[in-house]
Amino acid sequence: VRSGNIKPESIRIRDRILPVCSHGECGANRIWDFPTCWEHLTDAERQNLKERLAAALRSGEDLKRIVLTGADLQHFDFTGADLREAFFNGCNLSNCKFVDADLHRAFFGVANLTNADMTRAELNGTVFTGAKLEGIDLAALSISFGRTPINITMRSFGDYGFRRRPHIDESHPYFAEATYRALKTHFLKEGDYDSASWASYCERLMQRKVLWQRKNYLKWITSLLFSAVCGYGEKPKRVFFASLAVVFLYAIFYKAFHLITYVGKPDTVTWVDSVYFSALTFSGMSFSELVPHADPFSRLLVTTESFGGIFALSLFVFTLTKRYVAR
Ligand SMILES: [Zn+2]
């Protein structure tokens, strides 16, 4: 008997009494039906565990309340398994599949679930405290009544900050982006293209916030411009209003700097003439009476506006097609 320090035979975790590892002073709980914890399994025992687990999953064996604390189970396929109240705490479950699995009250404390697929898994009461969830496929839509997903659309979600309806938590854009992406995929699968468009736009907004957080300002400005001119290809109206803004902006330049003139009638150009000239230039038409001066600045402005017009027209067709026809 050593120093009177008696090792307890069992340990209590989340209302479960689990036998303790038989190895020396180790106080961790045993794994599955083995006499030790994962740390103290031999390589052969670990191999045996994985093979038996894989066999049990294949044959649809009952794995309710199974204790797999700390196990390294990357790439395991738990599709459709009954894993109610299972212990996966501290497990490495990256790239695992839990599609359609029943994870009612399962425990994933500090587990690594990177890139795991929990599509349509039953997540009622599932605990993810401290777990790594990067790249995980689950999203709100996995939370179901029974096994039928709730019939959600973009109207199911309120704006961020509007508390009475569920909303996506945007305080961590990196994770919100993944959630919107999962929603977009879900809506596309359901054929709800309006909701998919909304989720896609929100996803890009989150991407922009991530760019800002990472101080990637050049890409952030590009993203901001793309958003302003066409709402990331989801908002055709924005192309129209951006075009109007461009036409008026150029008109102001033409008039303010006296860059255009009537042939043979100098200094008779009005503000209306200027807007008219700008609109024609933007739409790619020339107007023989009203011409730019021969200086490089005037010509540069006229050229860029013409190019802008061609670009805007293509963008409008592209956005309209993407929004209402394609997918
Ligand atoms: Zn141990």
Kindly report, residue by residue over 98-133, the tens digit of the pLDDT.
988 889 889 999 999 988 888 778 887 788 888 888
Collect all residues with Cβ–Cβ distance below 8 Å to 267 and sequence separation of at least 6: 258, 261
Q: How far does the centroid of ligand 1 lie from the alpha carbon of residue 23, in Å?
A: 5
Q: Tell how far the Cα of 33 is from the centroid of ligand 1, in angstroms.
A: 13
| 8 Å CB contact between 121 and 98 | yes
| Ranges of H-type helices in the chain | 43-58, 173-190, 193-213, 217-230, 236-256, 271-282, 296-324
What is the 43 CA–ligand 1 centroid distance (Å)? 14
> From ligand 1's centre to the CA of 27, what distance in Å?
6
Distance in Å, CA 2 to ligand 1 centroid: 18
3-state secondary structure of 97: strand
DSSP code string of 258-317 = T-EEETTBTT---HHHHHHHHHHHHTT---TTEEE-SSHHHHHHHHHHHHHHHHHHHHHH
272 Cα: distance to centroid of ligand 1 (angstroms): 85
Write the pLDDT tens digit of every residue in 40-76.
999 999 999 999 999 999 998 889 999 999 999 999 9
- Identify whether the C-beta of residue 226 lies closer than 8 Å to the C-beta of residue 219: no
pLDDT of 327 > 90? The answer is no
Please check the confidence at residue 4 and state whether its pLDDT lies above 60: no
The reported pLDDT for the residue numbered 87 is: 96
pLDDT digits (tens, 9 = 90+) for 171-219: 778 878 887 888 888 788 878 888 888 889 999 999 999 999 999 999 9
Which of the four pLDDT bands, split at 50, 70 and 90, describes residue 136? confident
- pLDDT band with cut points at 50, 70 and 90 for residue 164: low
Look at residue 157 and tell me whether its pLDDT is greater than 60. yes
- Least confident range of 135-139, 178-182, 229-233: 135-139
Q: Tell me, what's the pLDDT at 100?
A: 81
How many angstroms does the Cα of residue 26 sit away from the middle of ligand 1?
5
DSSP reduced 3-state for 102: strand
Structure confidence at residue 326 (pLDDT): 64
